[in-house]
Amino acid sequence: MKPFTVRLNFHADLNFFLGSRVGRGVIERTLTEKTSVKDVIESCGVPHPEVDLILLNRQPIDFAYTVAGDVEIEVFPVGAGPPQIKEKRLQYSGDLRFIADGHLGKLTRNLRLLGFDVAYDRQADDHQLLNVMERENRALLTRDRRLLMHAIVRHGYYPRSQNADEQTIEVIRRFELFESIAPFTRCLRCNERLREVAKTEVIEKLEPLTKIYYEQFRRCTGCGQIYWTGSHFEKLQKRIEIIQSRLMGKRDV
């Protein structure tokens, strides 16, 4: 096959994946065989779950589209691209469930603290991770680019920051979760829901001082862990307030 050139314009923060040598997000690829647009995009370092819209001659195309001649395509992340184009958006947002890889323990804890369903097993290998993701229809959170590029990943996100609080804010923005925040409704240890329980139901398991000073308790419906509004709670509350105020601040701009 005669060689042909694909010119890709990566928009908005997709530059993050291209490396500093690529000016203004433009990359040219010379190919000698038919290739899916997904593979061309990923050969530039951009995982497909980061891509929400691909335009060819101003028309949206999907990942399976095959390029076989000289073309120029536009690639947009979630939240970018011509707003009038609503069809063929490749990602979704809103209320959904997640699975985080073993390196994102702090992010997992933060998201659970805010009430989000995040599966997490520090010991899980890639194969197990992808299995649970697919079976339970979860969006994958990982800073492993290769893993995110795996063909069976439908939705996912690569946290840009290495800081867990920043990552939390990124995930809430990316998946538009702001309205779904429900602090202290999910177990930080096992991810199951918490249920309010009467003090009499848990009193035998409490430390002497806790018995005296606290009246309101929640218990995990999964592992049985008991939560109450102690000094640890105040620290967590502060953390939630910081995250929420950062989210609000940026929203008003």
The Cα 48–Cα 87 span in angstroms is: 17
Report if residue 250 touches Zn ion, rule: CB under 5 A.
Answer: no
Of the residues 189, 195, 205, 232, which one makes contact with Zn ion according to CB under 5 A: 189
Q: Are 221 and 194 in contact (CB under 8 A)?
A: yes
Q: Which of 114, 171, 220, 243 binds Zn ion (CB under 5 A)?
A: 220
At 142, the amino acid letter reads T
- Binding of residue 225 to Zn ion (CB under 5 A): yes
- Nearer residue to Zn ion within complex by CB, 117 or 192: 192
How buried is residue 58: exposed, middle or buried, by Cβ count under 10 Å (0-12/13-18/19+)? exposed
Nearer to Zn ion by Cβ, of 17 and 120: the residue is 120
Q: Can you tell me the distance from the alpha carbon of 226 to that of 1, in angstroms, rounded to the nearest whole number?
A: 66
Binding residue for Zn ion, selected from 223, 230, 234, 242, defined by CB under 5 A: 223
Binding region for Zn ion (CB under 5 A) out of 41-49, 210-218, 220-228, 231-239: 220-228
Q: Which stretch binds Zn ion (CB under 5 A): 10-18, 147-155, 176-184, 222-230?
A: 222-230
Q: Which is nearer to Zn ion, 165 or 192 (CB)?
A: 192
Q: Could you report how far apart the first and last alpha carbons of the chain are, in Å?
A: 51
* Binding region for Zn ion (CB under 5 A) out of 28-36, 150-158, 206-214, 217-225: 217-225
Near Zn ion by CB under 5 A, which window of 6-14, 173-181, 198-206, 218-226? 218-226
Q: Which residues lie near Zn ion (CB under 5 A)?
A: 187, 189-190, 192, 220, 222-223, 225
